[in-house]
Structure 1
Amino acid sequence: MTDERICVIKGPTTDKLTKDNAIVFAGQCAMLRKIKFDATMSANMNGLFISLPSRRSRYTSRSNTHVLAKELKDTKLPENCTDLRVILVCEYSHSLALVSSVARTYPLYHRQKDFVPMNVVIEVVCMDKDLTGADVSMLTDLAASIRTTARLADTPANELTTDKYVEEAVAIGKKLGCTSLVIKGEELLKKGFGGIYHVGKAGPTPPAFVVLSHEPSGAKDTFALVGKGIVYDCGGMHIKTSNHMLGMKRDMAGSAALLGAFAALVKAKFSESLHLCLCIAENNISPAANKPDDVITLLSGRTVEITNTDAEGRLVLADGVFYARSVLKAKHIINMATLTGSQAYMTGKTHAAVMCSQEESEEKIVSAGLLSGDLVHPMIYAPDMHAIDLYSPVADMNNANWGDVQN
């Protein structure tokens, strides 16, 4: 497996600044002005500066990470450069978001013939508070998890099949010292996972449900992360048009993000019980595929009339969430998914949409997004008003209403 670690170190280490490496300094202008170089350092340094704005709007990250990401991508490094040192000059509270932004900027997946990987070192210079050794370890592990997530999301379905994804997830769980459970193929149907099974039964490799569990002694609470892992989504029999199908290798990005989050939390010695549930399938076409008008039974025992085969994410997640609640007894369930393109019309390209049953949790998620740079904005949560839109005359519900909202 490709080494996914970006080295994060505590700065300053100006003795290591040489013309042999590309150097990028990034921070707010007032912070950058505090850096002093003597004549020898200046002569030996090949550096660029990225000045981040100090002002922001209400729904922008406090550290303006979107500016850092854009500027890093636009920065032209010396030809054949293979070593890059990014020096972040910032407040302590901004370090996590800025390190995450750098990690996202340099993806791992590539298949170019002459590609040369970039060795990246992130040096963090906090002007108000020193990083501890634990901070450095956490930031390094977080950067690695972000790159793992990106690599999985970037890998096409002819490489990241459902079988390969299961293999990757189990290997990560084993490395973390976690227990794992895999339910796959026909066994899913036998055990009642009708959502995952019927979505993935037409795929070239079988659907699967994977659970990784971290259960430390003394845990008093239980959390579950449930991710949509559709390794490719052509839409099924309601097939997507060509311009909407490109990029559907990333329909498993929600599960990949939660796999990365799970790994980062376990490495940080998360003190409560934590379970990761991956609902893995490929939504494809064959004589066995879901058809409009089919009725399937979910793990909960409730039946669903298939009115749109391209509304498959909610079907696999229904099984995962029910398992997390009824079997794992999770008190807190977070699911993440590339669930609908309609999200972009509601919260745009830079803010994910969050739908939450509790106002306090919603506020915490939005605040965490502003702190980390993973921006989110609330959607309306009113299932009691909207449940009628999924009325079915033959089943407990349908899976999509094609926009015909009921009064």
Structure 2
Amino acid sequence: MTSQSSDADEATKASGERTFEKAKKKAQEKIDHLFNISLNIAVTGETGVGKSAFINAYRGLKDDDEGAAETGVTETTAEPTPYNHPTMPNVVLWDLPGVGTPNFKAKTYVKKMQIDRFDFFIIISSVRFKENEIMLAKEIQKRKKKFHFIRSKIDNDIRAEEQKKTFNKEETLSRIRKDCQENLKELGNPPVFLISSWNLSAFDFEKLVSTLNSELPEHKQYALLQSAPVTSVAMLEKKVDMFKKLIWAAAIVSGGIAAVPVPGLSFACDTVTVMTFFTKCFHAFGLDDRSLEKLSERVNKPELKNLKKAPLLKELAASSAVRLGGSAVGEFLCSLVPVAGNIAAATISFTMTRDILQNGLKMLADEARGVLREAGLE
């Protein structure tokens, strides 16, 4: 068996399909989902509970940054307001008006918000969950939508309790959680996630992401994991693992493009696929300047702001272009040979793209691990 046939078999096997044609179709769907899938997250609750602050924290923005959701102790949202993720514009967090206000009664709230456009709801309270939130959750349930409860401003509660001689952090958190759940019994004792928007890594944010990830369809998981901020090594490794599992798909898509007998097309498309994949990794791993600055402030290490990682993408682009360009002529010549030639062109591209993606992903992941070590978040 030729090496080309072996590579074609390997590509097909990686897809879980029986033929290379079916493998290509499945791979294209996976990559389309990775690059383009949308996710709409509705954030709601009563006025002043920290809805906008949570949206800003998830997007890696401070409350006074340009493009941040407006925050305040009074109602600042008069209608559903979309906020696109800075590096994942297809992920949108919607700041909904406070439920229970004179303009938005709980009984009519769901209809006015047009909830079918949202993938799931985050219901936030800074104290106990009350009648309005429970009524809202019931209405969401009727429409078979997912929702989760967040108890916000936990850092404020901890600071207040720290003044007591008998303070115990875990007991305090347990008491807050139990107090919230007591009011939610009629909903089946749903979990309550304790969150500090000032520091998402401090409490239950990662548990929230893991729970959401377990409930979403696979293609929606791609959007969630890419957009969630890196709050620990564990979160980073989840992202790395996701990209690892999709390398075969990017490599097969590259192979499918290579089989088209148009000079230069394979090189151009291979490069776009590879660099889009790496750019997604770069932002998902928190290597962009904005993410590094945010991390620097959170862990109080100003030197992290100087860890410029953008040259990594340029280095990967240059090395990938050289390798892919070197194979472009061979791919084109193979593609002119009917049937067997097309398979040869495809397998050349599959093997090369797979290797490039594996090496590039490892480089970016190692850099991200290094950043977390510098931040003291190993």
TM-score relative to the length of structure 2: 0.24
**Does 1 or 2 have the higher relative contact order (CA < 8 Å, sep 6+)?**
2
Q: Rg bigger for which structure? A: 2
TM-score relative to the length of structure 1: 0.23
Name the one with the larger strand percent: 1
